[in-house]
Amino acid sequence: MIILYFQTEITRLEQNYRKLEYKLTQSQSNSRQFFPKTLEKDNDDLVVIYNRVPKTGSTSFVGVAYDLCKKNHFKVLHINITANMHVMSLSNQYKFAQNVTKWQEVKPALYHGHMAFLNFERLGTSTKPVFINLIRKPLDRLVSYYYFLRNGDNFRPHLVRKKHGDKMTFDECVEKNQADCDPNTMWLQVPFFCGHSAQCWKPGSQWALEQAKHNLVNHYLLVGVTEEMLDFISVLEAVLPRIFKGATEHYLNSNKSHLRQTSSKIDPAQRTIDKIQKSTVWKMENELYEFALEHFKFFQRKVLMKESLGVPQTYFYEKIRPK
């Protein structure tokens, strides 16, 4: 109980520090930055797709968007696929792509749902949406999902999950080589970034991993990590203010930072961790996570931190001809 108390106090103090740090940065930045005038209608054609990976903190993030949508004048739409499938049929891929890009009445819009990446170039649309996502340490995500199926969460505490009543711990599951904790069940973040190709969904596919990295770099505006949700939101606010203006302060001062937590989750023992980390799937999923983390850190430094000159980066046009 004493350890838990101090852990809670440390977390509270860290959050208060981040609030003060954020407000100080904002006050310094706003006093020195120049923002060119833009028309009110700019970016009103914007479409953002968040193809959220299960158990990566997506409910907390989407909660912020739902709270901001009325104030910032944009729509939030949940993509609900039959039987919670993560891939669409080819005909639905085409219809969805055409619908999202041409549905002017709901723009600007943020779509979210548990679906694999969809390449709009392949589907013949004249415009493309902006993709964003979050990724989590693969074993942490698997453990969270394991206990979520058994104990539910604090978001909908009275909903009975399909493994309700199963008291087997994750450690015991791994020791007995049960299906629910098979390392192959971790194969989810790679295929979510890889896409709708059949090869994406084959556990341990090297092609799928490389395609996931390619898509992350070339087709996603930003991919954050669950462990640094605040910085992910702050970068989005800086890059896409049309949607995320005020998101950082709202996240810091609301209850959205821990909107959905798995109940009664037990951390795995070291022997369990060692066994899981020997698997090919864990190594590949973790390679994608580390790749995404490095990529995010690079953009985070550029957007949230001042350059060597001590002022935020900007740009302008000159030598415009003809006059």
pLDDT digits (tens, 9 = 90+) for 30-83: 444 444 555 455 589 999 999 999 999 999 999 999 999 999 999 999 999 999
The catalytic position among 78, 86, 112, 214 is: 112
pLDDT of residue 166: 77
Contact criterion met (CB below 8 Å) for 93 and 9: no
pLDDT of residue 279: 98
In a domain, 33, yes or no: no
The catalytic position among 114, 219, 250, 295 is: 114
Distances (CA, A) of 281 to 25, 54, 171: 41, 17, 18
In whole angstroms, give the CA distance from residue 10 to residue 206.
41
Contact criterion met (CB below 8 Å) for 125 and 97: yes
Number of domains in the chain: 1
Please confirm, yes or no, whether 112 is among the known catalytic residues.
yes
pLDDT of residue 35: 47
In a domain, 19, yes or no: no
The answer, yes or no, to whether residue 159 has pLDDT greater than 60, is no
Band (150; pLDDT cuts 50, 70, 90): confident
Q: What is the CATH number of the domain that holds 172?
A: 3.40.50.300
In a domain, 4, yes or no: no
pLDDT digits (tens, 9 = 90+) for 275-300: 999 999 999 999 999 999 999 999 98
Contact criterion met (CB below 8 Å) for 232 and 224: yes
Comparing 308 with 2, which gets the higher pLDDT?
2
pLDDT of residue 43: 83
Range 241-246, long-range pairs (CB < 8 A, 24+ positions)? 242/42, 242/43, 242/44, 242/46, 242/72, 242/74, 242/108, 243/46, 243/48, 243/65, 243/68, 243/72, 243/74, 243/108, 243/110, 244/65, 244/68, 244/72, 245/68, 245/72, 246/68, 246/71, 246/72
In a domain, 84, yes or no: yes
pTM of the model: 0.83
In a domain, 320, yes or no: no
In a domain, 23, yes or no: no
pLDDT digits (tens, 9 = 90+) for 7-27: 666 666 666 666 565 555 555
In a domain, 157, yes or no: yes
pLDDT digits (tens, 9 = 90+) for 166-184: 789 999 999 999 999 999 9
Please confirm, yes or no, whether 164 is among the known catalytic residues.
no
Domain that holds residue 300: 47-309
Band (1; pLDDT cuts 50, 70, 90): low
pLDDT digits (tens, 9 = 90+) for 215-267: 999 999 999 999 999 999 999 999 999 999 999 999 999 875 555 565 568 89
pLDDT of residue 323: 82
In a domain, 7, yes or no: no
- Helices then strands, each counted (H, E), the chain: 12, 5
